[in-house]
Structure 1
Amino acid sequence: MATESSFAHMGLDGRLLQAIAELGWAKPTLIQEKAIPLALEGKDLLARARTGSGKTAAYAIPLIQHLLQVKMSPLVTEQAVRALVLVPTKELGQQVLQMIRQLMAYCSRDVRVADISGQVDMSAQRPILMEKPDVVVGTPSRVLAHLQGHSLSLRHSLEVLVLDEADLLFSFGFEEDLKNLLCHFPKIYQSFLMSATFSEEVQALKELALHNPVTLKLRESQLPEAAQLCQYQIRCATEEDKFLLLYALLKLGLVRGKAILFVSTVERGYRLKLFLEQFSIPACVLNAELPVQSRCHIISQFNRGFFDYIVATDEQVLAEPAARAKRKKGAKSEKGKDPEYGVARGIDFQNVATVINFDPPASVESYIHRAGRTARADNPGTALTFVTHPECPLLAEIEEALAGESTEPVLRPYQFRMEEVEGLRYRCRDAMRSVTKQAIKEARLREIKEELLNSEKLKTYFEDNPHDLRLLRHDQPLHPAIIKPHLRNVPEYLVPPTLRTIAQPLLNKRKRRKHLAPSSSRPRGGFQARRGRNPLRSFQYMGRRPRHLASKGETS
């Protein structure tokens, strides 16, 4: 029926419908189709839907609709904070703020929103809260601090409470903060609890914050269908093979468009960045050591296409639940890492063509949220997982959980002949030798110092000159390792014959470069992966190969 697949039939304000149309949303997603009508009826919601399914808009649209109706009432004359959105990370707070502002594009004079999750002095946020924005977005610790400091009051005004990525709120150490927050709320308010999983933490939050809620447990797979998301595993004999394979995939153009490279630790992230720098492959590192303003800016520039590769860690997701629960209120994690940091969850990286698990995730949940960074909305995507022999048992657990009752493998073997790129191995070893432990240490210190400088001293300038913010790049070489110019390009004689038709356009690109504008002056990435044929998706999987063929390394 049309009423089930159209925003226009939901009774939404015309200004809200206009903003939705401008965003290009032709019809609601499954979670939006089910959640929005119930929310408009005033019901509390406990909703579970996979990452990338549109959960943010599922609560933001009815929230804005409610506020617009309140503002039209002649009985309401006083400005007040009527909606609170609690998020587990500062990055997600920025994303929620952006989404709400996009939906309020034609009613921004009537409804105002403020994000107080940022890592800035509370004194700088007090003037914003004194103006009583209609919607406040923040982490539980920051909201509680403002309530206790009397710069925010919700006891008589709160009408809508949203707990976004609810399964992380407890595991990020916010349990006590959430319990204390409830003392500052009125007895009656509408609540939305949105989550990708129904964990014990979510059940505990349900008891604390919801009142006889409607539970939406949508029957959908945790990841997109195989037609939209291709998932592969690549068995690597050694750690060196991982670096060689990544070098070949990126430099020969087998990975096109934007990609996120997931690693297990911050040190591994910088090692990978410095390794790629040896071949003039620019990438930026995103981890918990960087200031929150820098992390949000990195995500923003990546989404706008200023660079194609992010090397990311997801320590908070990989940590054991028991260890995360022991975090004390406001405590910094080890080595200065921000305890409110998370990459694999919640953050909307746009137009990501490929997710590469350079280090396999430590849990099924972590794999799902990593792979969920690609193949969002209706866009196709690919997830590649590199695995060495010691990591095989972990990968088997992930496969078993994802397969369910299916007999077909979920993570199909990627048909790639390592022997064909043996000619590149000496270059790979040359680059790996240059990336020493001392070089990694210097790179970490240098980047943190530079990002702190940019974050603090330039913050005020960029507030006054937002257009100049794009000039601040995060994928610049760190240069503590010796860069060898001869590694920049791949000679044609080293390109495997079977890959020359794919790599040839990249090799010839240097000849055309002088006729083009500098790459730094034009956004890259974005929809690159849609141009022509994607090499990652052109490989065919023929099922289990006969043993005599597998032993000879034959491929399909």
Structure 2
Amino acid sequence: MSNFADLGLSSSALAAVERLGYEQPTPVQEQAIPLVLEGRDLIAAASTGTGKTAAFLLPTLSTLPRGTRGKRAPRVLVVSPTRELAQQIARTCMQIARKTGHFVTTVFGGTPYGPQINEIRRGTDVLIATPGRLNDLMERDVVDLGSIEVLVLDEADRMLDMGFLPAVTTIVDATPAERQTLLFSATIDRSIEKNLGSLLNDPAIVEIARNGETAKTVEQFMMPIKNFDKPELLRAVLEEKGSERVIVFARTKFRTEECAEELRRAGYRAESIHSDKSQGQRRRALENFRRGKTSILVATDVLARGIDVPDVDHVINFDLPDMPEDYVHRIGRTGRAGEQGYAISFVTRESRRTLAEIEKLIGKEIPLMELETYELDLSLLKKPARSKGPRKGAGRGAKPKGARSGRPASPDRRPAKAAHGERVRDARPGRAQRADGRSRNAEHAKKRLEFKERRAQAAAKKPAVASSKKRLSGGYDYSKFASASRSAE
């Protein structure tokens, strides 16, 4: 492996590398930086935590002439899908810019327009933005993208998943055609090639991790559990495995709030973060977690890629994600920079199929983790016994091959057999038999009606029974975890 000095970076960029504490380039940095310095368009795919941000910021600022403050349009534009990720990129960019002498501005939604507009009008070299807010500022004629020399689309696959393709297309159309375009993503799939491939000119391809690959420094485990027993298991895991620097992922905002509240009630320093939180609340929660004021952060998938904090000991999947790819991004929060990390997933009977899809994606089986202080119900992992149904390929109620349809033949209905060459009369039921059948049918219908009336009367007399289940400490009924609606993130 080479060092940063061998990659062709400027002296100011190398000074920034030393300031950031980078020792050796990661594989994506080693391959991408020389290509960016050559001016090539680039599509780079690497798993989370591999240094993609520095891979485009270091060479871009290394070749960008030092700016002067004034009414000047930005020359580098970085577009990211979430405000948290935009802030993360801005922090790294400003640390590098202290040595390279460039001005950096960040714009994102959830905050007032005024300060951001004033910052842009004072002039900037590097503009870091989310698609929605940048489109709004373009409509107000605040931002001029006609001087863009380098366009970076970070987490491009995520932007497509979040429906930002129209906004990204509008942004790209406002930049010069002769720009350099850098596309960074966790994966390269057909949607990337179809929707964004035409934006690049003969791009170089850097693909470090195959689709679904997870970091070797992350040990993965699973634990079978019933849905309403998850809070108790979570506390057992934290007590036995440690509760410092932990990120817990839940599927919905409701479950995120309830999980964090239960942890605080149990004495843990926990905060929640999801899309319903204000920008200030999110920023304070992340900052408290980075500084160690909070030891547990409970988050939704919306922020799975936007959270960037060092030294996360383990990630706990309180709920498995809807998409197997999100599992890879979740557990990528730990095991960074060569440090060992742990990813523990709670698996219910209903989520076994999702677990199988995750294991197929990452190419390996996730082993079981057992605790000394909590007995797991391993029967939840067993496949339900299959009932003996119709033969394969037959529909519901199918009969064996060659069988006739209709009611089974009775002695009264069985047609008489005729000798060879003879003709049999009265093979069908006679008038008396048909009348007897109609009488039996009427009698059965009357009995069914009487049965329904008795059942309705019994139900009306039955008193309502209030639920008295109390699960876990504090007398809180966690059975609503199992029935809570899955609100969209």
Task: Note if 1:87 corresponds to 2:42.
Answer: no
**Among 266, 269, 276, which residue is 1:282 paired with?**
269
Query: Where does residue 231 of structure 2 map in the other structure?
Result: 243
Displacement, 1:420? 6.0
CA contact (8 A) 1:46 1:214 kept: yes
Deviation readout 1:43-93 (Å, 9 max, x if unpaired): 00000000111101000101111213x659xxx999431010001111111
Question: Which runs of structure 2 are paired with 1:154-553 in the superposition (5 Å)?
Answer: 154-155=145-146, 157-219=147-209, 222-225=213-216, 228-236=217-225, 238-250=226-238, 252-314=239-301, 342-403=302-363, 410-417=365-372, 429-431=472-474, 433=476
How far apart, in 1, do the equivalents of 2:374 and 2:165 lie? 52
* 1:480-512 alpha-carbon deviations (Å, 9 max, x no partner): xxxxxxxxxxxxxxxxxxxxxxxxxxxxxxxxx
- Cα offset, 1:29, TM superposition: 0.2
TM-fit CA distance, 1:401: 2.2
Is the 8 Å Cα contact of residues 231 and 410 (structure 1) preserved in structure 2?
Answer: no
Cα deviation for residue 11 of structure 1 reads: 2.5
How far off is 1:144 after superposition? 2.1
Q: Match for residue 392 of structure 2?
A: none
Matched residues in 2 for 1:293 and 1:212: separation?
Answer: 42
Provide the rounded CA distance (Å) in 1 between the counterparts of 2:353 and 2:70: 62
Asked if the contact 1:118–1:293 (Cα under 8 Å) also holds between the matched residues in 2, the reply is no
Is the 8 Å Cα contact of residues 19 and 106 (structure 1) preserved in structure 2?
yes
What's the CA shift for 1:349?
2.5
Conserved in 1, the CA contact under 8 Å of 2:28 and 2:55?
Answer: yes
SS in 2 for 1:92: helix
CA deviation after TM superposition for structure 1 residue 143, in Å? 1.5
CA shift in 2, pair 1:51/1:346, >3 Å: farther
Residue 103 (1) aligns with residue 85 (2): no
Q: Percent identity?
A: 33
| CA RMSD between the two structures | 2.6
Counterpart for residue 133 of structure 2: 142
Secondary structure at 2:303's aligned position in 1? coil
CA contact (8 A) 2:224 2:376 kept: no
Q: Tell me how far 1:351 sits from its aligned partner.
A: 1.1
Q: Displacement of 1:434 after TM fit?
A: 6.1
Structure-2 separation of matches of 1:286 and 1:345? 13
SS in 2 for 1:104: helix
Structure 2 distance, partners of 1:179, 1:102, is: 30
Q: Per the alignment, do residues 213 and 432 of structure 1 end up closer, same or farther by CA in structure 2, a change over 3 Å counting?
A: farther
Q: Distance in 2 between matches of 1:116 and 1:268?
A: 30
User: In 2 relative to 1, CA 80–420 (structure 1 residues): closer, same or farther, beyond 3 Å?
Assistant: closer
In 1, distance between residues paired with 2:70 and 2:470? 70
CA contact (8 A) 1:171 1:201 kept: no
Supply the AA of the counterpart residue of 1:35.
A
1:11 aligns with 2:14: no
The structure carrying a bigger helix percent of its residues is 1
Supply the AA of the counterpart residue of 2:285. I
Deviation at 1:36, TM superposition (A): 0.2
Answer with 135-144 or 272-281: which moved more.
Answer: 272-281
Provide, for residues 387-421 of structure 1, a one-character-per-residue CA deviation record: whole Å limited to 9, x for no partner: 12222122122112222xxxxx5311112256669
| SS of equivalent residue, structure 1 residue 413 | coil
Instruction: Determine if the alignment matches structure 1 residue 28 to structure 2 residue 25.
Output: yes
Q: SS state of the match for residue 148, structure 2?
A: coil
Note the residue ranges of structure 1 that are not aligned, 5 or more in a row.
315-341, 404-408, 442-556
1:297 deviation in Å?
Answer: 2.6
- Number of the residue aligned with 2:426: none
Code of the aligned partner of 1:210: L
Instruction: Give the structure 2 partner of residue 530 of structure 1.
Output: none
Instruction: Quote the offset at 1:118 in angstroms.
Output: 4.1
Task: Give 3-state SS (helix, strand or coil) of 2:160's partner.
Answer: helix
SS in 2 for 1:411: coil
Partner in structure 2 of residue 44 of structure 1: 41
Q: Structure 2 length as normaliser, TM-score? A: 0.74
Asked if the contact 2:42–2:204 (Cα under 8 Å) also holds between the matched residues in 1, the reply is: yes
Pair 433,301 (structure 1): closer, same or farther in 2 beyond 3 Å: closer
Equivalents in 2 of 1:77, 1:311: separation in Å?
42
Alpha-carbon distance change, 11 to 196 in structure 1, aligned in 2, over 3 angstroms: same
Aligned counterparts of 1:279 and 1:219: Cα–Cα separation in 2: 40
How does the TM-score come out when normalised to structure 1? 0.66
Q: Tell me which structure has the larger Cα radius of gyration.
A: 2
Matched positions, count = 390
Report the alpha carbon displacement of residue 180 of structure 1 after superposing the two structures with TM.
Answer: 1.8
How many angstroms apart in 2 are the aligned matches of 1:13 and 1:139?
29
Amino acid at match of 1:430: S
C-alpha displacement of 1:249: 2.1
- Aligned-partner SS, 2:14: helix
Aligned partner letter, 1:410 = E
The one-letter code matched in structure 2 to 1:431 is G
Change (3 A) 1:232 1:112: same
Q: Check the 8 A contact 2:28/2:50 in 1, yes or no.
A: yes
Conservation of the 8 A alpha-carbon contact between 1:87 and 1:93 = yes
Tell me the SS of whatever aligns to 1:310.
strand
Classify the secondary structure of the residue corresponding to 1:106: helix
Post-superposition, which runs of at least 4 consecutive aligned residues in structure 1 deviate over 4 A? 76-79, 417-422, 434-438
